[in-house]
């Protein structure tokens, strides 16, 4: 009689368990690591240039923003400059001007006996404002017909007088005067100056600074004494101010060249500002 042999279930389960537990060999793990490294190196070669380009573009944008902000600040200030008050020194690394805050027209003819005209034949100490009242603060200076030449130079003071009063909105302006104004303005205009302003590029320190609030002096200071100064830009590698007056002397052009260098990246900007020299 033939007998049928039945496989042992215990042996079958043991063989199945052993096959499931089979893992990587050391050689296979090393091969996977090596292949992954090669793939990563190839990917890095392809993405290195775009990433470097992104960071370079971001740095250029940052430097451009710094330079653009600086030249725009200078431009806004120059638009407030007293006519014929711009002057340069220090190998064109220093730009100075007198900053106007407001202005108006003065009375020169009497309509009624109470009118206070500005008398150019004597040391007049007050005058009426034609039109709207002018807001003044203590320390303001009144300038009339500044030509920037001998006899009509606001830096020297022969056509500049100190406002003699407290802050307020006035139709009659008191001034401190010991001599007559040298010239009458054809347009009967006067300007109110509050402070001189100087921009200085220090290439040795790599900085661009703005100075203000110091005393007006006849000789351009280097640097100004007193007042306050503000840092506008760092890493300045080149800076040049130029000033050219118009043919008719009624206008001028200030040119600003500013370069900023950081991490072997240089951004250079050129900006021109039109200046009105009609006193």
- Three-state secondary structure of the chain: CCCCCCCCHHHHHHHHHHHHCCCCCHHHHHHHHHHHHHHHHHHHHHHHHHHHHHHHHHHHHHHHHHHHHHHHHHHHHHCCECCCCCEEECCCCEEEEEEEEEEEEECCCCCCCCCCCCCCCCCCCEEEEECCCEEECCCCEEECCCCCECCECCCCCCCEEEECCCCEEECEEEEECCCCCCCCCCCCEEEEEEEEEEEEEECCCCEEEEEECCCCCCCCCCCCCCCEEEEEEECEEEEEEEEEECCCCCEEEEEEEEEEEECCEEEEEEEEEEEECCC
pLDDT at 1: 47
In the predicted structure, residue 70 carries a pLDDT above the cut 50: yes
Residue 253 placed within a domain: yes
Q: 15 vs 191, which has greater pLDDT?
A: 191
Specify the pTM: 0.80
**Mean pLDDT, residues 197-211 taken together:** 96
Q: pLDDT band at residue 247, thresholds of 50, 70 and 90?
A: low
pLDDT digits over 140-193, tens only? 999 999 999 999 999 999 999 999 999 899 999 999 999 999 999 999 999 999
pLDDT (mean) for 44-54: 67
- Structural domain for 208, as ranges: 66-276
For 35, the token pair is 């292949």
Rounded CA-CA distance 165/162 in Å is 9
Confidence of residue 269 (pLDDT cuts 50, 70, 90): very high
Query: Does residue 177 lie in a domain region?
Result: yes
What is the rounded distance in angstroms from the CA atom of residue 173 to the CA atom of residue 109?
Answer: 16
Do the domain assignments include residue 5?
no
Q: Is residue 1 part of a domain?
A: no
Alpha carbon distances (Å) from 261 to 64, 94, 95, 189, 242: 10, 20, 22, 45, 21
What is the distance, to the nearest Å, from the Cα of residue 4 to the centroid of all Cα atoms in its chain? 102
The pLDDT value given to residue 191: 97
Q: What is the mean pLDDT of the chain?
A: 87
More confident residue, 126 or 4: 126
Task: Please report which confidence band the pLDDT of residue 4 belongs to, taking 50, 70 and 90 as the band edges.
Answer: low
Output the pLDDT for position 153: 96
Residue 173 resides in a domain: yes
Confidence of residue 245 (pLDDT cuts 50, 70, 90): confident
143 C-beta neighbours (distance < 10 Å), count = 25
Which whole number is the average pLDDT over 244-259? 83
Whether 32 is in a domain gets the answer: no
Of 11-20, 81-90, 180-189, minimum mean pLDDT range: 11-20
Phi and psi, residue 85, nearest 5°: -110, 0
What is the rounded CA–CA span in Å between residue 210 and residue 73?
A: 10
**In the predicted structure, residue 2 carries a pLDDT above the cut 70:** no
Inside any domain, residue 126 = yes
More confident residue, 34 or 88: 88
Q: What is the mean pLDDT of residues 68-73?
A: 94
**Chain centroid to CA 273: how far?**
13
How far out from the chain centre does Cα 136 lie?
A: 26
**CA nearest to 241, candidates 70, 87, 100, 64:** 87
Instruction: Read off the pLDDT band of 77 (50, 70, 90).
Output: very high
Within a domain: 55: no
Q: Which of 6-15, 32-41, 154-163, 233-242 has the weakest average pLDDT?
A: 6-15
Domain count along the chain: 1
């Amino acid at each position: 009689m033939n007998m049928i042999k039945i496989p042992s279930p215990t042996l079958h389960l043991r063989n199945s368990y052993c096959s499931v537990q089979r893992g990587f060999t050391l050689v296979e793990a090393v091969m996977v690591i090596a292949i992954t490294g090669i793939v990563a190196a190839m990917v890095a070669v392809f993405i290195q240039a775009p990433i470097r380009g992104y960071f370079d573009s971001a740095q250029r944008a940052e430097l451009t923003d710094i330079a653009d902000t600086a030249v725009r600040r200078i431009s806004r200030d120059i638009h407030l400059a007293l006519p014929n008050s711009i002057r340069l020194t220090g190998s064109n690394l220093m730009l100075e001007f007198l900053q106007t805050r407001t202005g108006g027209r003065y009375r020169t003819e009497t309509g009624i006996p109470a009118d206070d005209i500005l008398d150019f034949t004597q040391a007049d100490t007050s005058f009426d404002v034609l039109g709207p009242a002018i807001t003044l603060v203590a320390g303001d200076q009144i300038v009339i017909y500044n030509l920037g030449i001998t006899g009509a130079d606001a830096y020297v003071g022969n056509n500049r007088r100190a406002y003699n009063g407290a802050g307020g909105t006035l139709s009659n302006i008191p001034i401190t005067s010991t001599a007559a104004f040298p010239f009458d303005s054809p347009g009967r205009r006067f300007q109110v100056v509050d402070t001189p302003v100087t921009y200085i590029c220090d290439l040795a320190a790599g900085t661009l600074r703005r100075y203000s609030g110091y005393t007006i002096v006849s000789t351009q200071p280097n640097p100004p004494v007193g007042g306050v100064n503000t840092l506008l830009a760092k890493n300045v590698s080149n800076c040049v101010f130029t000033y050219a007056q118009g043919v008719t002397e009624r206008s001028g052009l200030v040119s600003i060249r500013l370069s900023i260098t950081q991490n072997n990246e240089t951004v250079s900007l050129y900006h021109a500002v039109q200046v009105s020299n009609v006193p």
